[in-house]
Structures are given as C-alpha cells and as structure tokens.
C-alpha cells in the first residue's frame, strides 16, 4: 500500500507570494472544500499565506498559513532569533485510489499532519555548521526521520499538549527539538491540524477557523534561499 506520507506533495517552505502571484495563491485556498485554520485572535502579529498541496486530480489536500517573521535560509541568519509559527491544515480523507488507479492511498490522519509539520520545519532550517553543498543530504536524512516520528506519535519524544481549537480544549501531540517545535492534532471540521515554529512558544497558542483569508493576503518580501 502506498503511504499517504509519500503520496502527499511536500510542504517545503515557500516564500510568501509577491503581489503578482498573490491572487493565484488565494485562489488555491479558495478551491479547498474544507476550512482553513490559523492562530486565533489572541495572536496580533503579521499573518501570511504560504502554499497549498494538491492531489494528482487537482483536489486541494492541505495547505499552510504563516504567522510572525518569515523564515530565512541565509547562512548568516541566526535561526534561534527567528519568531514564527506555521499552521498546517490537512483534509480528512478516507482510503482512496491512487491517481493511476492501480493502488490505494492510506487515509489521512494526525500522523499526516505531524509529517507535514515536521518536514516543513526542516525545510526552513539551516544547520549553520554545515556546508551548503551538504544541506540536501542532511534534509533528506532528517525528512526520513520525520516520517518515522510521525508514524509513532505515542513513542518517546512526543508529549501531550492541550490547546484551544475554536475555544475548545484539544489534545495535541507535541515535540520539541533544537530546530523548533512540532505539534499535531485534529479539529472538529473534518481536518487534521499540524503546526511548527521557532521563537514563539507553542504553549501559549490557540487555533481557530480562518473566517476571512484577506487577513492573510499580505504579500511579504521573499526570504533568501
């Protein structure tokens, strides 16, 4: 059986859109048949759209919204000084056929949200002691580890964290690392919620359905890759 992890498009960090492509980004979010989540109104900082992930038939499967400072991959940037949180919304999907009709894809789950959040954090992380030429090998290795961790949410390294989702206390799986934190849980609207960040404490966050995407339609300068 083909794993949802490997079938889903990569959530690799993408800079917020420039004005010339902002409308196309918004269109992708508007095509979704599920609600999008972001940080609740207790967060008053900048908000920005990232990207959506689609299935082979164009169906929107997941997407991310950013909060705070846009992560930078500049070698001279200190990742520990960056303050951001990204919320990943994953549609709840049952087991379904693969695009070519020859196999099936696993249903999406909290593990799907955990993997998307974990790999998203890695993709906006730069080990400052590492040569640029070696980063892809490091990223591939760490992404494989993120797959395994997401498949074992009850194992050591994960703890439980209760945060409000639309005002309702909700249990999340939480993991902290040298590069930031990752968490994953489920909402009540047929979605799974993942999040990752750095510099902003996960313990003080809350999530809610985004009522107006225009609040996120604020193009920001692209980060250096």
Residues 31-44: tens digit of each pLDDT: 999 999 999 999 99
Is pLDDT at 21 greater than 60 in this prediction?
no
pLDDT recorded at residue 65: 94
Task: Tell me the whole-structure pTM to 2 decimals.
Answer: 0.79
pLDDT band at 203 (very low <50, low <70, confident <90, very high): very high
Burial of 83 (C-beta count, 10 Å sphere; 0-12/13-18/19+): middle
CB 28 within 8 A of CB 14: no
Q: Over the stretch 204-216, which tens digit does the pLDDT of each residue have?
A: 999 999 999 988 8
Three-state DSSP at 58 gives: coil
Q: Over the stretch 89-129, which tens digit does the pLDDT of each residue have?
A: 998 877 655 445 554 456 678 888 888 898 888 877 766 66
pLDDT recorded at residue 122: 80
pLDDT recorded at residue 9: 36
Could you tell me where the beta strands, DSSP code E, fall in the chain?
37-39, 47-54, 60-68, 84-91, 96-97, 104-105, 159-165, 168-177, 180-186, 191-198, 207-209
Of 80, 87, 70, nearest to 35 by C-alpha is 87
Angle between helices 110-123 and 135-151 in degrees, nearest 10: 160
Is pLDDT at 164 greater than 80 in this prediction?
yes
Q: How many angstroms separate the Cα of 7 from the Cα of each of 55, 157, 209?
A: 8, 26, 26
pLDDT recorded at residue 165: 95
pLDDT recorded at residue 142: 63
Mean predicted confidence (pLDDT) in 40-66? 89
pLDDT recorded at residue 189: 74
């Amino acid at each position: 059986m083909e794993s949802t992890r490997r079938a889903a498009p990569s959530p690799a960090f993408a800079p917020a859109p420039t004005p010339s492509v902002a409308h196309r980004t918004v269109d992708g979010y508007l095509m979704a048949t599920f609600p999008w989540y972001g940080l609740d109104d207790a967060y008053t900082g900048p908000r920005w759209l990232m990207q959506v992930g689609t299935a082979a038939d164009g169906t929107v499967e997941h997407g991310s919204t950013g909060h705070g400072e846009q992560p930078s991959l500049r070698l001279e940037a200190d990742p520990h000084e960056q303050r951001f949180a990204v919320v990943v919304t994953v549609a709840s999907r049952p087991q379904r056929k693969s695009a070519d009709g020859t196999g099936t894809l696993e249903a999406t789950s909290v593990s799907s949200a955990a993997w998307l959040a974990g790999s998203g954090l890695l993709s906006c992380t730069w080990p400052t002691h590492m040569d640029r030429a070696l980063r892809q090998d490091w990223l591939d290795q760490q992404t494989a580890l993120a797959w395994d961790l997401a498949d074992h949410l009850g194992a050591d390294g994960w703890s439980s964290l209760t945060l409000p989702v639309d005002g309702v206390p909700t249990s999340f799986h939480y993991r902290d690392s040298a590069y930031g934190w990752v968490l994953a849980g489920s909402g009540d609207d047929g979605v799974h919620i993942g999040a990752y960040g750095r510099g902003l404490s996960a313990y003080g966050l809350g999530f809610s359905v985004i009522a107006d995407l225009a609040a996120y339609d604020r193009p920001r300068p692209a980060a250096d890759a």
